[in-house]
Structure 1
Amino acid sequence: MSDKLIITIGRECGSGGRHIGQKLAEEMGVKCYDKELLTLAAKKSGLCRELFETHDEKPTSSFLYSLVMDTYSLGYTNSAYMDMPINHKIFLAQFDTIKQLASEESCVIIGRCADYALAEFPNVVSVFITADEDVKIRTLMERHQISEAQARDVMIKTDKKRASYYNYYSSKRWGDSKSYDLCINSSKTGADGAIKVIREFARIKQEYAKIK
């Protein structure tokens, strides 16, 4: 049993999942990887970071678009990747980077199908953060200084994009309780309460794994 602990966090827009992940990592004394994954994956793969930004948690069904974008890619000369659409290359680069991180250090990883990438790792706790709709909308209104209608639109579109990405690349369903070890409604616990629940669950899971 590895003494490393990796916590992956899926989250609904406005639920505070990113903040919870960052604060959790701080309390654990480990790194939190969110956008940082893009830089690491770009460096590892040789692909332009701008391509990772463009495709971040956003699959495309347009093969033509992928071919056009592929002309801007750098590296990935391995023949296994040569005929692959750029969005698939980017996903695999992130997939490999996530697995490498998990093998090297304890950390918190936000989104990007990290729970799916690490499905075979025993030292992973997969978490999904949700929240009541009115709370999410109010959070987005305050965060972005936008109207209620605009906040609702941002919430719906962002969650649709995240769900499409997760469902497209993984064998599970985004937001389905069966897809995660632990699901938390942050409206009921607050950020600090959610962190306590995650840390306690992780402790229990690790202890149980030792006696199985």
Structure 2
Amino acid sequence: MAKRIITISREFGSGGRFIGEEVAKQLGIKYYDKDIIAQIAEQSGFSAEYIEEKAELSPKKGLLAYAFAGRDITGKSVEDMVYEAQRKVILEIAEKESCVIIGRNADFILKDKDNVLNVFIHGDMPEKVARICKLYNVTEEEAEKMMADIDKRRMTNYRFYTDQKWGMAKNYTLSLNSSELGYDLCEKIIMDCKK
């Protein structure tokens, strides 16, 4: 069987992580999300806690602060070193096995590889807010703030390292609205594309 790689980028609260996990389970392939952090930490020499905060999200201060972060003698920032380690780990994983990879700019990192399906999961605001409230036990106001902050940081990171717009349909094979389609149909569409 040919290797199948599925990358899933997602808006916070859209259920992309849950959809990806179920797709991997149904296809009988490996699922990479937070467990990839230990591998990135090992490659980079930074702590897993630091990687969890920096590998997918930009600093809270925005793109300008991100671009001018402290640099070493070679001109690389800590974020650049983390990104390089993340890129190397994702490429190694894609070489060795079929899998689903959640976030971490994997769609861009694997853009030149064959047999990669890049998916973006988004959703409608009321459903995303309700999911976040339920999952994190927060108020609607807190959920909206979390969503705005995390999505902004993902967007900044993606734009900085890929020079593309995060969530733009042309960057992905599929763009699915989990609020309109539901998790089950999103999963079915993704699996049908990888047969």
TM-score normalised over the length of structure 2: 0.90
Structure 2: stretches of 5+ with no match in the other structure = 60-64
Alignment-mate amino acid for residue 70 of structure 2: S
Runs of 4+, deviation exceeding 6 Å:
none
Aligned residue for 1:126, secondary structure, equals strand
**Aligned match of 1:3:** 2
Correspondences of 1:165-184 after superposition (within 5 Å) = 165-184=157-176
Partners of 1:112 and 1:21 lie apart in 2 by 14
Partners of 2:144 and 2:44 lie apart in 1 by 36
Of residues 107, 122, 131, the one that matches 2:114 is: 122
Structure exhibiting the larger radius of gyration computed from Cα positions: 1
Aligned residue for 1:191, secondary structure, equals helix
Partners of 1:7 and 1:137 lie apart in 2 by 26
**Aligned match of 1:185:** 177
Q: Does 1:31 align with 2:30?
A: yes
Partners of 1:197 and 1:63 lie apart in 2 by 37
Report how far residue 40 of structure 1 moved: 0.8
Structure 1: stretches of 5+ with no match in the other structure = 71-80, 204-212
**Aligned match of 1:66:** 70
Contact residue 66 and residue 87 of structure 1 kept, 8 A: no
Aligned residue for 1:84, secondary structure, equals coil
Q: Aligned in 2, Cα 1:184/1:48: closer, same or farther, shift over 3 Å?
A: same
Aligned residues: 190
Report how far residue 104 of structure 1 moved: 0.3
Report how far residue 129 of structure 1 moved: 0.2
Contact residue 9 and residue 109 of structure 1 kept, 8 A: yes
**Aligned match of 1:198:** 190
Partners of 1:124 and 1:170 lie apart in 2 by 17
Name which of structure 1's ranges 36-45 and 183-192 shifts more when overlaid on structure 2: 36-45
TM-score normalised over the length of structure 1: 0.83
Aligned residue for 1:194, secondary structure, equals helix
Deviation per residue, 1:177-208 (Å, 9 max, x gap): 011000001112211111100011223xxxxx
Report how far residue 64 of structure 1 moved: 7.4
Partners of 1:185 and 1:17 lie apart in 2 by 10
Contact residue 9 and residue 129 of structure 1 kept, 8 A: yes
